[in-house]
Copies of this chain bind each other. A is one copy, B any other.
Amino acid sequence: MSDGYDGYDPHAYEPFAVAADLAVFTVRSGSLHVLLIRRGQEPYAGAWALPGGFVLPRESAETAARRELAEETGLADEVVAALHLEQLRTYSEPDRDPRMRIVSVAFTALVPDLPEPAPDGGGDAAHARWVPVADAGELAFDHAAILADARSRIGAKLEYTCLATAFCPPEFTLGELQAVYETVWSTPLDRPNFRRKVLATPGFVEAVPGAARLTGGRGKPAALYKAGPATALHPPLLRPEGHRR
């Protein structure tokens, strides 16, 4: 026998298709939302699904993910191009799609609270919506499992990376950053302690001098910060005991 790569004739087999699917998260009005599209055709017509689609012959999976996201959701091209995509994992069970053999590379992205996916862009975008993950329920294919994996991954990543700032607008208050953690982890955090930890981590956030959020809200105006150059959190910011998944 030769090794597994030799003597393979791809046309002798039913071909694989390779897809890229995305779990794009945002935090809005105190709950974690995921971007879903409603399927227009069988299978799973009318069901909600993660945005995604086939990888074309000259694309990497990540390129395909960006292209599909732009096509299906009408998010602005600059937004999609700048988006930090992270590969989650690949789903390759033989029967995960009833039509044919489809191997799907899943990606995760975090975005600040954006306007609703442009319905004026017409076409696919009209079927895209932000849905609270708690309300996502049944999804097409194995997308519910992908969503669960993505959710658990981002919860863990908040512990040891600075990724939480990706959920925030360019300038944000520490209260807003804390709300991201509390929303993703579904647990309240002590405000002074959170503040101390964030400020003590070099490069996590940087003060925007002289700026303060002029919200219509009550209370003392909060200082504004922007994301710093750090990417990892050492030591990590662990969620309270009993809130891990």
Contact = CB atoms under 8 A, between A and B. Distances in A.
B105 A92 contact: yes
A132 interface: no
Nearest to A101: B57
Interface in A200-245: 232, 234-236, 238, 241, 244
Interface size class of A (residues with CB under 8 A): 35 or more
Interface in A4-29: 4-6, 8, 10-11, 13-19
Nearest to A17: B10
A153 B68 CA distance: 29
Residue among A60, A62, A89, A92 with the highest chain B CB neighbour number at 10 A: A92
B68 A90 contact: no
Contacts of A124: 1-3
Interface in A150-182: 160
A61 interface: yes
Contact of A4 (B8, B10, B52, B160): B52
Interface of A: 1-6, 8, 10-11, 13-19, 37, 39-41, 51-62, 68, 71-72, 87, 89-90, 92-94, 100-101, 103, 105, 123-124, 127, 160, 232, 234-236, 238, 241, 244
